[in-house]
Amino acid sequence: MIKQRPKHVNVRAHILSFTTCLYSYASSPDHEYLLTDTHLTYPLTARPYKHQLREEFEAIVTKTKQTRDRVDSVQAAAREDTRTVTGLKDQLERLTEKMTDMEDRCRRNNVRLVGLPEGMEGPDAASFLRVNLSKWIPSLRGRDIEIDRAHRVYDGGRGSDRPRTLIFRVLRWHDRSDILKGARQAYPVKCERNNVTLMFFPDFSPATAIRRKAFGPVLKKMTALGLQPFLIYPAVIKQRQNGEQRSFDSPQKAEDFISSMSQQKSYAAALRGGGGAAAAVSPARREGRDGRDGLGPSCPEGDDSRMIMEAC
């Protein structure tokens, strides 16, 4: 049997009373945690921070893009500058070579005289040389070499006892060639005072003189081996051997040639020494032997052999 609710009970009053009590209970100081529940307050408190983070992120993206654009422009400018610098280097090398060639052409009639005692030329160096060149170089006897000017080279105040170099300029290029050729043929050229040795060199620009001076050691080695090399302008060694002419534009190439010659001579000596010595020679050397052990003809006339330009 179902128990019925008494008619005198007021349901609405009970609900209102329960709601009032619950509100009072929730708003009391001991139960503040009910109003600060994370699930209730997080959407309300995170909304302003989310907007701020979005603004900062967009600002970072914008700055990153600007930085990337600047880096790209800097890289493009650097590539263009690299091309410009490369072009300027090539142009500078061409202009330097041209300037060196022009300077060498201006000096083509000059001769450098090394070893002449200081003050021996007197006040008129050109006249002194005109009189004495034929005495020093027998091939010039009976010839009147016209000399434009002559002077001593400044030594930079080194205070050395070595006499300064005397440079003189002749009017004709073939006179200059005859002086150098005659000096080679009459080597050593002796001066009547103190019996000192005089040396005659062609005059070149400093750049060409340094390049030619680098060939000095290898030229001495080739001469010691019985070869007759000669140095031509600007800085190239030429060597004739068994009718074949070789040229070396760097000291290292000449050194390699000397090494190959030494190997060939060692192989030839082993062959002459007998079978035991010949057996010790490697097959690679035997295959590389080309029979060019003989000495070539003498240097052509007019070339500068044995004379290495000193840098002043």
Q: Which long-range contacts (CB under 8 A, 24 or more apart) does 134-138 make?
A: 135/192, 136/183, 136/186, 136/189, 136/190, 136/191, 136/198, 137/179, 137/182, 137/183, 137/186, 137/189, 138/182, 138/186
Q: How far apart are CA 171 and CA 173, in angstroms?
A: 7
Residue 118 shares a structural domain with residue 189: yes
Quick check: is 121 in a domain? yes
195 domain-assigned = yes
At residue 295's C-alpha, the angle toward residues 294 and 299, to 5°, is 155
Q: Do 218 and 193 share a structural domain?
A: no
Of 203, 228, 249, which residue is a domain's last? 203
pTM, two decimals, is 0.59
Q: Which two tokens stand for residue 248?
A: 């070396």
213 in any annotated domain: yes
Q: Report which of 119, 118, 150 is spatially closest to residue 133, judged by C-alpha positions.
A: 150
pLDDT of residue 268: 72
Residue by residue, pLDDT tens for the chain (312 residues) are 445 555 554 545 555 555 555 555 555 555 444 444 444 444 555 667 778 888 888 889 899 999 999 999 999 999 999 999 999 999 999 999 999 999 999 999 999 999 999 889 999 999 999 999 999 999 999 898 999 999 999 877 666 788 999 999 999 999 999 999 999 999 899 988 778 999 999 999 999 999 999 999 999 999 888 888 989 999 999 988 778 889 999 999 999 998 888 777 777 777 776 554 444 444 444 444 443 333 333 333 334 433 333 333
Range of the domain at 68: 49-105
Q: What CATH number does residue 258 fall under?
A: 3.30.250.20
The answer to the question of residue 281 being in a domain is no
Same domain? For 233 and 191 the reply is no
What was the pLDDT predicted at 276? 46
Q: Are residues 176 and 244 in the same domain?
A: no
Angle, vertex CA 207, rays to CA 106 and CA 230, nearest 5: 85
Say if residue 116 is in the same domain as residue 175.
yes
Residues 167 and 143 in one domain: yes
Residue 5 maps to a domain: no
Structural domain count of the chain: 3
Final residue in a domain of this structure, among 58, 73, 105: 105
Residue 62 lies in a domain: yes
Dump the DSSP string for 22-62: HHHHHTSGGGGGGTS-HHHHHHHHHHHHHHHHHHHHHHHHH
For the chain, helix, strand, coil in percent to 5 are: 55, 10, 35
> Is residue 59 situated within a structural domain?
yes
One domain, residues 94 and 122: no
Assigned domain for 38 exists: no
Distance CA 191, CA 121 (A): 12
Q: Are residues 199 and 112 in the same domain?
A: yes
Q: Which two tokens stand for residue 305?
A: 């052999």
CATH code at position 167: 3.30.70.1820
* Collapsed DSSP state (helix, strand, coil) of residue 235: coil
